[in-house]
């Protein structure tokens, strides 16, 4: 329905990817039935509602938001976003449509896609020669040689503010509550005024493609509102009202991008009147507003324009407006929960009846109880999953630096795509937290970079094969460079993004995805690097030159991150080539890999070197820790197989400290988890919550930048489960603060879904649900003692003997394998097994079921 057609879409086979559908729709009648009607349930009393305390999956506040960045509550359906202020007399929803961008072709500034407007013969060689001769080159000098000012880069745009004025403004407001239930993905505002309880609900439905607002009261005829749209002045727009439909249509001054939004105002009772750019309703029992929007952006090189959005927006708005509110809400909740409910996390938390901003403040001040602290941490984990679902659904652009939420026409960094950490971090939680579908826009985006990125290869490198992007990208195929000396050159970025394709395959083992989509991308990127690696005169190894450790230091040859990324690409490509049967290229990738400097060196103070020369300063606390790429998100360092490198990584990480910006702390959670240090990982999570999290729980770089939310969710997952080394590592980095708990629905590489319980810091049981036939390798302390493994599907027990802490067994697709300790912690299962059953399992008697975890698949 949206004018987003990627090359990949057109080329795709009818069913390119077997999306895993592990979640069981939680459309239990009670989940969706209770709050639907126009008459809401009672507002929360002083003891708190069920949502405040019970589920622990609600952010709530006792005041309206006054600051967009730190206080508004975000809803989104991947295409449309809205931030809810919750004002009483005047409610404001800041609206976003993900493709509304200035810049690109047709921009008033001109447009150069980052490629050179005049050829620069010899410039790249001159930089390489100076680096070879002098060992390093100053970034300013390199930028003068290889950079140039960006033209028409643009910025992500706010669509506008939807304002809803209640007339007369409510007086004597009591019992005010503003909340966001992230399990239902519904925001809610309630208050009492003059004895009338008002309730407003807000959600962004992927099922129907619209944002929905519902205003109601517990007495008839009490909803009187007028609504209008406030638009920025960097566009031409007409706002008209006709038959209850508020339409804004126009184009951006900068690039002529056309946009349209429609707000359909549907009143139950009362009178509706069209004004000049407003729709008013008086004396209604309830009012539903349905918002649809679109632009004429299309992910099609080189023009990036498709159809005028009018027809699609009208069709979407009409279809949604024809449905009863209860149906819209039910469809939305079911759609969201099908994704969200796949993972549950129980840290034995106890959510206090306390507004979320007060809970965050108490956590920061060390005043929150341990159980309340765990409640905030578990909520923060799930919030990252919520935000990913809300900001990244198939058919639009990927989640940008602010996800989908933006209130300005000149967003920080344009709210663009920064692939030197930020864009990748956005997608770390996708596979591991069972939200594989959310990565689809990333793959569409990267697929769409092939043509513009190949033009950049030809312009910047003078070679022909493959494609690149550099430090920043926008939706219009900006794949070249700017001139910001410390952040303009990073052609390794696309190779890093290729890791997401291969990792997606490692999780799903979907051969069609690998053959049709991932491998062609990986091969092209490998070809680019095979064409552009250079011989290092120091040791004859193949290196990247010029090479720049993101935003840090001088240009050199063979900085660690550059080498580690290219090594990761070549290794993955060689493995993938073996699967798809491309033996010739496999041999070429392996040969290049053998000659490549791997970028893994231990330096003079036992640190992992950031550069090929030992230049690291132990007092340097730079936020980027790029040279640990091989530890995370790569797989070149492991405490088990390369302990000396892991130790060096720990020394480097320790020196960098526990500070940093939001995303930097989030990355450090992942690093410490990969180093199997749960307490340190937890400390970083605490640091992020205390110092880099806004009261609406958005990550604060500063400014608000959503990568840290996603990075933290990934970090928590890495603490609980890892599988990057082809073994499923159960509870690899459990902190002392999370001594007892349970998690369900996490994903491990190999197409496995994992549930776990633990007690006293030790695994007490876990279940591996295998999606494929084949060998699985498992590492768990539970296997150190006597344990029993039961195929839950057949009831049979398996002989599993760990070697060096790793058990290997052959799994069958569709079977679940239950690992249970026979010596300890059985009472911790406690979910459905009788004492007799538990004793029977403990005694290793076959034929009796192991205690079950609560599972939702
Ligand atoms: C990275 C960081 C900056 C900022 C920017 C958006 O390049 O180095 O700190 O987060 O992205």
Say if CB 805 and CB 820 are below 8 A apart: no
Please identify, by atom number, the ligand 1 atom nearest to the C-alpha of residue 472: 7
Task: Calculate how far, in angstroms, residue 290's C-alpha sits from the geometric centre of ligand 1.
Answer: 36
Tens digit of each residue's pLDDT (9 = 90 or more) over 44-69: 333 344 444 457 999 999 999 999 99
Average pLDDT over residues 826-846: 36
Residue 822 pLDDT class (50, 70, 90 cuts):
confident
**CA distance linking residue 563 with residue 25, whole number of Å:** 44
Residue 42 pLDDT class (50, 70, 90 cuts):
very low
Q: Is the dihedral of CA 508, 512, 517, 520 positive or negative?
A: positive
Average pLDDT over residues 193-216: 98
Q: For residue 799, what pLDDT is reported?
A: 85
Q: Tell which one of 422, 424, 665 to mutate to probe ligand 1, the residue whose CB is within 8 A of the most ligand atoms.
A: 422
Task: Calculate how far, in angstroms, residue 472's C-alpha sits from the geometric centre of ligand 1.
Answer: 10
Average pLDDT over residues 808-837: 67
**CA distance linking residue 395 with residue 843, whole number of Å:** 53
**CA distance linking residue 512 with residue 517, whole number of Å:** 8
DSSP H helices in 437-518: 440-447, 450-456, 493-508, 511-513
Average pLDDT over residues 391-419: 98
**CA distance linking residue 218 with residue 285, whole number of Å:** 8
Q: Which residues are CB-neighbours of 366 under 8 A, at least 6 positions away?
A: none
Instruction: Label residue 256 exposed, middle or buried (CB < 10 Å: 0-12, 13-18, 19+).
Output: middle
- Does 287 score more than 80 pLDDT? yes
DSSP code string of 600-616:
--B-TTSPBPSSSS---
- Does 119 score more than 70 pLDDT? yes
**CA distance linking residue 650 with residue 648, whole number of Å:** 5
Task: Calculate how far, in angstroms, residue 498's C-alpha sits from the geometric centre of ligand 1.
Answer: 20
Say if CB 297 and CB 290 are below 8 A apart: no
Task: Calculate how far, in angstroms, residue 703's C-alpha sits from the geometric centre of ligand 1.
Answer: 11
Q: Is the peptide bond before 702 cis (omega within 30 degrees of 0)?
A: yes
Task: Calculate how far, in angstroms, residue 126's C-alpha sits from the geometric centre of ligand 1.
Answer: 28
Please identify, by atom number, the ligand 1 atom nearest to the C-alpha of residue 422: 11
Average pLDDT over residues 496-502: 98
Crossing angle of helices 370-391 and 325-340, rounded to 10°: 110
DSSP code string of 185-228:
TEEEEEEEETTEEEEEEEEEETTTTEEEEEEEESSTT-EEEEEE
Average pLDDT over residues 445-457: 98
**CA distance linking residue 463 with residue 465, whole number of Å:** 6
Give nearest CA residue, ligand 1 atom 5.
418
Task: Calculate how far, in angstroms, residue 701's C-alpha sits from the geometric centre of ligand 1.
Answer: 8
CA dihedral 521, 522, 523, 525 (to 10 degrees): 90
Q: For residue 804, what pLDDT is reported?
A: 86
Task: Calculate how far, in angstroms, residue 480's C-alpha sits from the geometric centre of ligand 1.
Answer: 18
Supply angle C-alpha 809, 810, 814, rounded to 5: 125
Say if CB 609 and CB 616 are below 8 A apart: yes
Residues in the chain: 857
What φ, ψ does residue 571 adopt, rounded to 5°? -65, -50
**CA distance linking residue 839 with residue 834, whole number of Å:** 9
Say if CB 416 and CB 473 are below 8 A apart: yes
- Does 26 score more than 80 pLDDT? no
Tens digit of each residue's pLDDT (9 = 90 or more) over 592-644: 999 999 999 999 999 999 999 999 999 999 999 999 999 999 999 999 999 99
Q: Tell which one of 553, 701, 702 to mutate to probe ligand 1, the residue whose CB is within 8 A of the most ligand atoms.
A: 701
Q: Which residues are CB-neighbours of 369 under 8 A, at least 6 positions away?
A: 350, 352
Please identify, by atom number, the ligand 1 atom nearest to the C-alpha of residue 551: 8
**CA distance linking residue 447 with residue 299, whole number of Å:** 10
Q: Which residues are CB-neighbours of 443 under 8 A, at least 6 positions away?
A: 8, 500, 501, 504, 517
> What percentage of the chain exceeds 90 in pLDDT?
88
Q: For residue 54, what pLDDT is reported?
A: 52
Average pLDDT, the chain: 91
**CA distance linking residue 199 with residue 216, whole number of Å:** 5
Q: Tell which one of 155, 156, 626, 661 to mutate to probe ligand 1, the residue whose CB is within 8 A of the most ligand atoms.
A: 661
- Does 1 score more than 90 pLDDT? no
Task: Calculate how far, in angstroms, residue 310's C-alpha sits from the geometric centre of ligand 1.
Answer: 36
Count CA within 13 A, CB hemisphere, residue 524: 21
Both structure tokens of 630: 């091989």
Task: Calculate how far, in angstroms, residue 571's C-alpha sits from the geometric centre of ligand 1.
Answer: 28
Please identify, by atom number, the ligand 1 atom nearest to the C-alpha of residue 401: 6
Nearest to 695 by CA among 484, 429, 379: 379
- Does 32 score more than 90 pLDDT? no
Q: Which residues of 569-604 are buried (b: 16+ CB within 10 A; e: fewer)?
A: bbbbbbbbbeebebeebbebbbebbeebbbbbbbbe
pTM, full prediction: 0.91
Q: For residue 433, what pLDDT is reported?
A: 98
Beta bridge partners of 198: 191, 217
Q: For residue 13, what pLDDT is reported?
A: 26
Q: If residue 122 lies in a helix (H) or strand (E), which one and from where to where?
A: none
**CA distance linking residue 674 with residue 641, whole number of Å:** 13
Q: Is the peptide bond before 168 cis (omega within 30 degrees of 0)?
A: yes
- Does 223 score more than 60 pLDDT? yes
Tens digit of each residue's pLDDT (9 = 90 or more) over 246-262: 999 999 999 999 999 99
Please identify, by atom number, the ligand 1 atom nearest to the C-alpha of residue 420: 7
Q: If residue 547 lies in a helix (H) or strand (E), which one and from where to where?
A: none
Q: Is the dihedral of CA 340, 346, 352, 353 positive or negative?
A: positive
- Does 461 score more than 50 pLDDT? yes
Helix %, strand %, coil % of the chain (to 5): 35, 25, 45
Q: For residue 823, what pLDDT is reported?
A: 56
Both structure tokens of 784: 């150190």
Q: Tell which one of 418, 624, 659 to mutate to probe ligand 1, the residue whose CB is within 8 A of the most ligand atoms.
A: 418
Task: Calculate how far, in angstroms, residue 482's C-alpha sits from the geometric centre of ligand 1.
Answer: 15
- Does 197 score more than 60 pLDDT? yes
Average pLDDT over residues 449-462: 98
**CA distance linking residue 527 with residue 549, whole number of Å:** 22
Q: For residue 149, what pLDDT is reported?
A: 97
**CA distance linking residue 755 with residue 771, whole number of Å:** 14
Q: Tell which one of 486, 487, 667, 700 to mutate to probe ligand 1, the residue whose CB is within 8 A of the most ligand atoms.
A: 487
Q: Tell which one of 420, 482, 488, 664 to mutate to probe ligand 1, the residue whose CB is within 8 A of the most ligand atoms.
A: 420
Say if CB 390 and CB 75 are below 8 A apart: yes
Residue 320 pLDDT class (50, 70, 90 cuts):
very high
**CA distance linking residue 802 with residue 800, whole number of Å:** 6
Average pLDDT over residues 657-669: 97
Residue 23 pLDDT class (50, 70, 90 cuts):
very low
CA dihedral 732, 735, 739, 745 (to 10 degrees): -50
- Does 40 score more than 90 pLDDT? no
Q: If residue 236 lies in a helix (H) or strand (E), which one and from where to where?
A: strand 235-242
Say if CB 328 and CB 208 are below 8 A apart: yes
- Does 105 score more than 80 pLDDT? yes
**CA distance linking residue 21 with residue 233, whole number of Å:** 44
DSSP code string of 160-190:
EEEEEEESSPP-SEEEEEEEEETTTTEEEEE
- Does 841 score more than 50 pLDDT? no
Strand 741-748 and strand 344-346: pairing? antiparallel
What φ, ψ does residue 802 adopt, rounded to 5°? -70, 145
Q: If residue 679 lies in a helix (H) or strand (E), which one and from where to where?
A: helix 678-691
Task: Calculate how far, in angstroms, residue 551's C-alpha sits from the geometric centre of ligand 1.
Answer: 8
Tens digit of each residue's pLDDT (9 = 90 or more) over 759-799: 999 999 999 999 999 999 999 999 988 789 999 999 999 98
Q: Which residues of 101-119 are buried (b: 16+ CB within 10 A; e: fewer)?
A: bbbbbbbeeebbbbbbeee
> What percentage of the chain exceeds 70 in pLDDT?
90
Weakest mean pLDDT among 314-328, 378-392, 411-425, 839-853: 839-853
Q: Which residues line ligand 1 (CB under 6 A)?
A: 401, 413, 418, 420-422, 487, 551, 661, 701, 705
Average pLDDT over residues 510-531: 98
What φ, ψ does residue 504 adopt, rounded to 5°? -60, -40
Say if CB 347 and CB 738 are below 8 A apart: yes
Tens digit of each residue's pLDDT (9 = 90 or more) over 134-177: 999 999 999 999 999 999 999 999 999 999 999 899 999 999 99
**CA distance linking residue 740 with residue 348, whole number of Å:** 7
Q: Which residues are CB-neighbours of 253 under 8 A, at least 6 positions away?
A: 108, 234, 235, 236
């Amino acid at each position: 329905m949206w004018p987003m057609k990627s090359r990949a879409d057109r080329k795709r086979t009818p069913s390119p990817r077997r999306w895993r559908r592990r979640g069981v729709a939680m459309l239990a009648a009670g989940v969706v039935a209770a709050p639907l009607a126009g008459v809401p349930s009672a507002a929360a009393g002083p003891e708190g509602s069920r949502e405040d305390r019970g589920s622990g999956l609600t952010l709530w506040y006792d005041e309206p938001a006054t600051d967009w960045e730190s206080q508004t509550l975000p809803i989104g359906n991947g295409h449309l976003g809205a931030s809810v202020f919750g004002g009483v007399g005047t409610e404001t929803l800041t609206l976003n449509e993900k493709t509304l961008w200035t810049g690109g072709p047709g921009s008033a500034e001109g447009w150069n896609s980052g490629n050179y407007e005049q050829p620069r013969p010899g410039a790249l060689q001159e930089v390489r020669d100076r680096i070879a001769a002098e060992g390093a080159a100053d970034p300013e000098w390199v930028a003068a040689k290889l950079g140039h000012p960006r033209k028409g880069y643009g910025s992500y745009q706010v669509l506008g503010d939807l304002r809803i004025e209640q007339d007369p403004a409510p007086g004597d407001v009591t019992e005010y509550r503003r909340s966001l239930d992230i399990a239902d993905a519904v925001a809610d505002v309630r208050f009492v005024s003059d004895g009338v309880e008002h309730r407003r609900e807000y959600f962004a439905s992927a099922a129907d493609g619209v944002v929905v607002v519902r205003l109601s009261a517990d007495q008839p005829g009490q909803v009187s509102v007028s609504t209008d749209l406030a638009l920025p002045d960097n566009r031409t727009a007409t706002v008209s009202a006709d038959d209850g439909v508020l339409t804004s249509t126009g184009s951006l001054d900068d690039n002529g991008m056309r946009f349209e939004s429609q707000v359909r105002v549907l009143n139950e009772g009362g009178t509706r009147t069209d004004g000049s750019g407003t729709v008013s309703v008086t004396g209604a029992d309830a009012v539903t507003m349905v918002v649809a929007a679109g632009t004429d952006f299309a992910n099609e090189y080189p023009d990036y324009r498709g159809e005028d959005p009018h027809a699609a927006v009208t069709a979407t708005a009409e279809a949604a407006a024809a449905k009863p509110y209860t149906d819209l809400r039910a469809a939305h909740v079911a759609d969201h929960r099908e994704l969200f409910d796949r993972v549950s996390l129980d840290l034995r938390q106890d959510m206090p009846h306390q507004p979320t901003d007060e809970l965050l403040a108490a956590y920061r001040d060390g005043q929150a109880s341990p159980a309340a602290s765990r409640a905030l941490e578990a909520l923060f984990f799930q919030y990252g999953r919520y935000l990913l679902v809300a900001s990244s659904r198939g058919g639009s652009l990927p989640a940008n630096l602010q996800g989908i939420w933006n209130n300005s026409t000149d967003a920080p960094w344009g709210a663009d795509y920064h692939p030197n950490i930020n864009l990748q971090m956005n997608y770390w939680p996708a596979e591991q937290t069972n939200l594989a579908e959310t990565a689809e826009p990333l793959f569409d985006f990267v697929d769409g970079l092939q043509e513009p990125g190949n033009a950049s290869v030809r312009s910047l490198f003078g070679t022909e094969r493959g494609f690149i992007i550099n430090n920043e990208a926008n939706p219009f195929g900006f794949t070249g460079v700017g001139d910001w000396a410390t952040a303009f050159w990073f052609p390794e970025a696309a190779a890093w993004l290729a890791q997401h394709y291969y990792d997606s395959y490692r999780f799903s083992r979907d051969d069609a995805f690998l053959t049709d989509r991932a491998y062609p991308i990986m091969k092209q990127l490998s070809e680019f690097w095979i064409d552009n690696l250079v011989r290092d005169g120091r040791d004859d190894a193949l290196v990247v030159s010029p090479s720049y450790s993101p935003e840090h230091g001088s240009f050199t040859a063979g900085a660690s991150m550059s080498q580690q990324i290219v090594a990761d690409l070549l290794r993955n490509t060689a493995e993938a080539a073996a699967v798809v049967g491309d033996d010739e290229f496999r041999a070429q990738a392996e040969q290049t890999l053998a000659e490549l400097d791997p970028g893994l060196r231990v330096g003079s103070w036992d640190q992992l070197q950031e550069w090929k020369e030992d230049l690291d300063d132990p007092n340097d606390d730079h936020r980027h820790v790029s040279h640990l790429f091989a530890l995370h998100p790569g797989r070149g360092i492991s405490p088990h197989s390369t302990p000396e490198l892991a130790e060096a990584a720990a020394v480097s990480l320790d020196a960098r400290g526990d500070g940093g910006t939001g995303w930097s702390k989030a990355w450090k959670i992942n690093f410490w988890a990969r180093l199997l240090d749960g307490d340190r990982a937890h400390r970083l999570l605490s640091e992020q919550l205390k110092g880099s999290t806004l009261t609406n729980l958005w990550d604060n770089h500063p400014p608000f930048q959503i990568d840290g939310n996603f990075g933290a969710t990934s970090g928590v997952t890495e603490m609980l489960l890892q599988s990057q080394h082809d073994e499923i590592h159960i509870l690899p980095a459990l902190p002392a603060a999370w001594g007892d708990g349970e998690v369900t629905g996490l994903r491990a590489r190999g197409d496995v879904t994992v549930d776990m319980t633990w007690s006293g810091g030790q695994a007490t049981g876990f279940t591996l649900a295998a999606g494929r036939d084949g060998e699985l390798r498992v590492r768990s302390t539970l296997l150190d003692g006597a344990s029993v493994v039961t195929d839950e599907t057949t009831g049979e027990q398996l002989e599993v003997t760990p070697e060096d802490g790793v058990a290997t067994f052959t799994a069958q697709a569709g079977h679940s394998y239950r690992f249970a300790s026979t010596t300890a912690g059985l009472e911790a299962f406690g979910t459905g097994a009788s004492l007799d059953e538990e004793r029977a399992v403990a005694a290793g008697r076959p034929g009796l079921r192991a205690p079950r975890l609560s599972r939702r698949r």
